[in-house]
Each structure stands twice: as C-alpha cells, then as structure tokens.
A = this chain, B = another copy of it.
Amino acid sequence: MAEDSYQAEPDPEREDDAYLLDRQAVARIIYAVDIEDRDLLLKEMEPLHPADIADLLEQINAFDRRRLIELYGVEFDGDILSELDDSIREEVIGLLTPEVLFDAVRDLESDDVVDLVEDLEDQQQQAILNALEHGDRVAVQQSLTYPEYSAGRLMQREVVMAPSHWNVGEAIDFLRNQDDLPDQFYHLILVDPRLRPVGNVTLGKLMAARREVLLKDLVEETFHVIPVTQDEGDVAYAFNQYHLISAPVVDENERLVGVITIDDAMVVLDEEHEEDIMRLAGVGDESSLADRVLETTKRRFPWLAVNLVTAILASLVIAQFEAAIAQIVALAVLMPIVASMGGNAGTQSLTVAVRAIATKDLTGSNVWRVIRREVLVGLLNGLVFAVVMGAVGVLWFGGPELGYVIAAAMVINLVVAGLAGTVIPIVLDRIGVDPALASGAFVTTVTDVVGFFAFLGLAAMVLL
C-alpha cells in the first residue's frame, strides 16, 4: 500500500543527510515523467514522505508539475496537499481529477482539512467540503467559524477525556472499549462535571500506575488551558515556554472544545519565525520560492518604495550642505561611511529588540536597562570606530580637522543608532504595529539623516 511506503529504513549511506530529496532523486523522477514510465515514477517516489513530495512539486517548474501529477494519478495523497506551499496549492488542486481529489481529502484529519481549505477560493473550498463525509464536513465548517490564526483553527476536535474522579482502572477500561480513538493523542484530559478541563494525565503514567490509583493523583505538574480565540502565535509561545505536549482548548464558558498538539504548535512557531525574518528584511509575507516573478516583484515593492522615501530624505539633508561639499569634495567621499555604520548598528539593536519583544523578554521591568545598555554599546563601539576613522581621515586627506569631524559624527550616530534601534521597536509594539515589519524603515531613516547631518554639519562648522 502506498500509505506504508514512506517508512525510512536506517541506511548507513545517508546518515549524514537524512533528506531523501536530493538532486539526483529529482532528476530521476523528472526522467520518469519525461519517458512517461509510470512504474518507474512510482518506484522513485516510493521512499518519499508527503512533505518531501510537496517540496518536490515546489522545486520543479509548472510544466513538469502538471505532467508529474497526471502520471502519478491516484497515488496522490491528501497529506501532500496539506504540506504544499500556499502559492501553488490552488494550482495543484486544479490539476487533480475530481476522483483523485476526493480520495485524497477523505483520508485527512479534520484539522488538516481546515488548514487546507481556509485559504482556497470559494469554488475549490466547496469542492473539497463536498468530498467529505457529513460529520467531517460539519466539523470543518465549525472550525472555519473561528477567527483565522486562532486556536480554534489549529485544534483537533477529537478529544479523549475522562471524569476527574475516575481511577486508572476505569480509564483503561474506558479507553480499551472506545472504537474511534484519534490516531494521535498523548494525554487523557480530566474534566469536571461541567466539562471544564482540570488536568492532564499522560498515557505513559496511565500505563504504569496500579488500577486503583486515582487519575487526579497522576496529573501533570504543568497544565495549561488555551482559550479558543487565542492567537496561534501565543499558542506556539506557550507550548515552547512551558514545554507542553498537548493542551486542551476551551470556549468562552471554559468548556472543553478541542485539543492542540505540539506538532501543530511547532509548525506555527516555525511560520512565525519565518514571517519575522522576512519582515525584518522587508520582503513582506512572501512564503515561497515557488512564487512567480510578478507576485514577488509586487511583494517586495512596498519596502523598496519606503526605502526610496528614506533615501530621498537623506538626500535632502545632503542638499543643505551642497556649498560645503563643493568646497571640500572629501566630504562626499567620506559621508556614506558614517551613515552606513549607523545603519548597521541600528539594525543590530533593532533586531535584538524585535526578537526580545517577540519572546516577551523585553518588558516594562527591564526596558530602561535595555535602552541604557544599547546606548552604552553604541557609545563604546562609536568611540572605537571614531579613533579608527579619525586616523583614516587624517591619513587619507591630510589635516586633522577632517579626522575630528568624522570621529565625532561616528560617535553621535552610533549612540543614536542604539537609542533608535531600541526605542522605535518598543514604541511600535506599544501602539500595536508589528515592530518586525516597520522598525527597519524608521531606524534607517534616523541613522541616515543623523549620520549625514552630524558629519556635514560639523564639517561646515569646523572646516569652513
């Protein structure tokens, strides 16, 4: 059966890189597609996990993708769709025949279907919902009523619970008589008579305990309940902070409505990090190499446009000192150095601040201490580079005055960089703007403007 086919056997030859989808594998698969040899294709695809097959589809071009999917036919697994990047998911779904799509989707757990359909256009969403059995369809539609990126979208609705007054024997008998336990579950959730979760018992402890032990004496020390409307980023944070394996989800009446497991939280943590990195770099929420040229161009445009405004602002500052530059051209040669150093120091500070805000390490309790630290770091590095650049200025252009000017401007800009790089993300966060997204533009503007102004202004005062 195809579903058992992606077991990775221990294989000493690939110990160092456990990734099955290497360049040769892709080449062999494309070759099988080229010669339209279905048996060969199935043989080559057999060792691949659905996540690897999704990666494969993302890596090859649209033409090969279409031919591969057509040749692969009914082997297409629903998990591949779940793993596929949003950017080509609709395209791939459009390539599947209705029968293949129906089969693929029916194998999925309800939370995977939610994840799959939530970003699809209405027509495809409806086609997939129609493929589901009635019970599953209702479950998926109910999950879709929760806000996007909420715990409600992330949770499984299948929960395994027991009254908190039971003992181990009762729980084991209950579990062994259940027909439809979920595929993956790690805790028995204890509930009170009003279905409010009050504790978690791991299956391992249940296995190990004597039958007469009360469940409430086996509950885990750490027990964390998640409100159904909580943002998925906060859910991932809680799993990471408190080392949760699974956590019950409750509605506004604190009644148990589902459970979130760590594997789903890990995916969210990964996505949030990725998003932060991309936002810090001004890439926008671009998620994939599979995005097309026009799409990518449009996504990157806004940040470049913001940067253009920033750069023009800096130019306006320079324009104030045209007379000085006309007299001493060396100023034009040296001025980008001060701005560039400030920009880099500012980026260092802001990255540390943005991450510390995201991980809740930067709080009201230590904000002043952190700002002071960043300013002092800027001052110290500023002094070191002031000495270096002062010397370079003297050696390169003769007179010591130019050296003094660039040294002073360097110290000023690195202190400002430390200050702006910390205060700007904090302020943005306080007013509800994602600091990862917007800090870069503001901080660079400050360091460019201050860098040029300090250097050229001091030069105009001292040298002219």
Interface 9-mer from A34-42, A122-130, A141-149, A335-343: A335-343
Closest to A248 in B: B10
CB proximity to B under 8 Å, residues A297-356: 297, 300-301, 303-305, 307-308, 310-312, 314-315, 318-319, 322, 325-326, 329-337, 339-341, 344-345, 347-348, 350-352, 355-356
A310 to B303, CA, bound (A): 23
Knowing A10-B254, A303-B344, A361-B55, say if A352 contacts B283 (CB, 8 Å). yes
Knowing A7-B223, A366-B60, say if A385 contacts B351 (CB, 8 Å). no
Closest to A203 in B: B203
The answer to whether B208 touches A178, judged by C-beta atoms less than 8 angstroms apart, is yes
Q: How far is the CB of A129 from chain B (nearest CB, A)?
A: 24
Q: How far is the CB of A16 from chain B (nearest CB, A)?
A: 8
Interface centre among A185, A226, A239 (most CB of B within 10 A): A185
Task: List the B side residues contacting A301 at CB < 8 Å.
Answer: 381, 384
CB proximity to B under 8 Å, residues A346-393: 347-348, 350-352, 355-356, 360-366, 369-370, 373, 376-377, 380-381, 384-385, 388-389, 392
The answer to whether B245 touches A184, judged by C-beta atoms less than 8 angstroms apart, is yes
A113 to B296, CA, bound (A): 47
> SS class of chain A's interface: helix, strand, loop or mixed?
helix
In the assembled complex, A121 has its CB within 8 A of some CB on chain B = no
Q: How far is the CB of A243 from chain B (nearest CB, A)?
A: 5
Task: List the B side residues contacting A227 at CB < 8 Å.
Answer: 15-16
Task: List the B side residues contacting A265 at CB < 8 Å.
Answer: 266
Interface 9-mer from A88-96, A97-105, A269-277, A426-434: A269-277
Contact with B along A211-225 (1 / 0, CB 8 A): 000000001011111
10 A-B pairs, CB-CB below 8 angstroms? A10-B225, A10-B250, A18-B230, A18-B238, A22-B363, A203-B207, A280-B281, A281-B352, A289-B373, A297-B380
